């Protein structure tokens, strides 16, 4: 399992810009023992000039890292009605991903009408050796395990898979441990971790299709009052997962010292937990 750090840790709430320079995030990721950076449009995407993307790729290379996945369009993580738009014109996202030397793009599907466009986008991506993946995510067709599997069967493309993300499965009332990982295993192309604690009086709230609004508290990755992380790691070990495992926490960090401390503590926690 290769550890990846998402630029999301230093992303502004609007999800379209970073609080910290990309070059500095890459450097601290390398210093903290990560193997890759997970790229989002807040750092570089379809709106970014090609020469700037090439510079970003050179920075990643200089530090001996890779780009684990690219979310080239900021509408995808916003998960709004425009989230699936990039499926209707996947070319720019493919260009960004190819320039960054990556072969995996995160996409968004909100309703059944998006599925034909997902098939066409996957076919175009396959021509360039690129895969598409959808996160297990609230307010999408990837909320519940049965729904995830049926949607993947309907898309029916070998280069279209999922990003396993246990916190969103938990918010949707789903099992996210070893039994679920066994079922999802053939389709997993990436794995995320962020941590939430279910709380009916929680400070945060997300809408879901299956359960309505779900309230929760945002807690640190290493906090044991949220996800059952031991179940996550034992399940990943059980399926012999050897892909990227990405710290996907929304922290909004604004200083390099805080980013370094957070990235190091997450790295230490994951490597210790993965050895259990």
**Residue pLDDT, tens place only, 159-180:** 999 999 999 999 999 999 999 9
Q: Cα–Cα distance between 54 and 41 in angstroms, integer?
A: 14
Lookup: tokens for 192: 């995320």
Mean pLDDT taken over the chain? 97
pLDDT at 276: 53
Q: What pTM was computed for the model?
A: 0.97
Q: What is the pLDDT of residues 122-168, one digit of tens each?
A: 999 999 999 999 999 999 999 999 999 999 999 999 999 999 999 99
Q: Find tokens 């729904």 and name the residue.
A: 147
Lookup: tokens for 113: 């009408």
Mean pLDDT over 266-270 rounds to 97
Q: What is the pLDDT of residues 20-76, one digit of tens each?
A: 999 999 999 999 999 999 999 999 999 999 999 999 999 999 999 999 999 999 999
Mean pLDDT over 235-246 rounds to 97
In contact, 121 and 142? CB cutoff 8 Å: no
- Coil vs helix vs strand at 154: helix
Rg (CA), the chain: 17
In contact, 45 and 13? CB cutoff 8 Å: no
The domain segmentation of the chain, as residue ranges, is 2-274
Q: Given a cut of 90, is residue 230 above it in pLDDT?
A: yes
pLDDT at 74: 96
Query: What is the architecture of the domain spanning 2-274?
Result: Alpha-Beta Barrel (3.20)
Q: Cα–Cα distance between 168 and 160 in angstroms, integer?
A: 20
DSSP 3-68: EEEEGGGGB-TTSS-BSS-HHHHHHHHHHTT-SEEEEETTTSSTTS-HHHHHHHHHHHHHTT-EEE
In contact, 78 and 110? CB cutoff 8 Å: no
The H helix count followed by the E strand count for the chain is: 11, 11
For Cα atoms 9, 2, 100, give the angle at the middle one, nearest 5 degrees.
65
pLDDT at 26: 98
């Amino acid at each position: 399992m290769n550890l990846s750090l998402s630029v999301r840790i230093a992303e502004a709430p609007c999800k379209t810009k970073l609080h910290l320079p990309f070059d500095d995030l890459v450097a601290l990721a390398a210093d903290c023992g990560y193997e890759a950076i997970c790229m989002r449009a807040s750092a570089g995407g379809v709106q970014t000039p090609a020469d700037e993307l090439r510079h970003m790729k050179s920075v990643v290379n200089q530090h001996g890292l890779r780009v684990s996945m690219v979310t080239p369009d900021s509408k995808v993580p916003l998960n709004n009605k425009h989230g699936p738009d990039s499926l209707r014109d996947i070319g720019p996202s493919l260009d960004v991903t190819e320039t960054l030397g990556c072969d995996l793009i995160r996409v968004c599907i909100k309703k059944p009408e998006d599925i034909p466009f997902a098939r066409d986008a996957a076919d175009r991506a396959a021509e360039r050796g690129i895969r598409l993946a959808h996160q297990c995510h609230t307010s999408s067709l990837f909320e519940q395990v049965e729904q995830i599997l049926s949607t993947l069967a309907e898309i029916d493309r070998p280069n279209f898979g999922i990003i396993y993300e246990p916190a969103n499965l938990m918010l949707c009332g789903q099992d996210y441990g070893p039994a679920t990982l066994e079922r999802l295993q053939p389709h997993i192309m990436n794995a995320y971790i962020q941590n939430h604690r279910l709380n009916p009086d929680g400070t945060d709230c997300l809408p879901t299709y299956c359960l309505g609004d779900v309230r929760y508290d945002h807690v640190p990755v290493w906090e044991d009052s949220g996800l059952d992380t031991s179940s996550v790691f034992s399940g990943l070990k059980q399926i012999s997962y050897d892909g990227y495992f990405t710290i996907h926490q929304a922290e909004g960090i604004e200083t390099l010292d805080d980013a370094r401390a957070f990235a190091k503590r997450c790295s230490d926690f994951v490597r210790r937990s993965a050895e259990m």
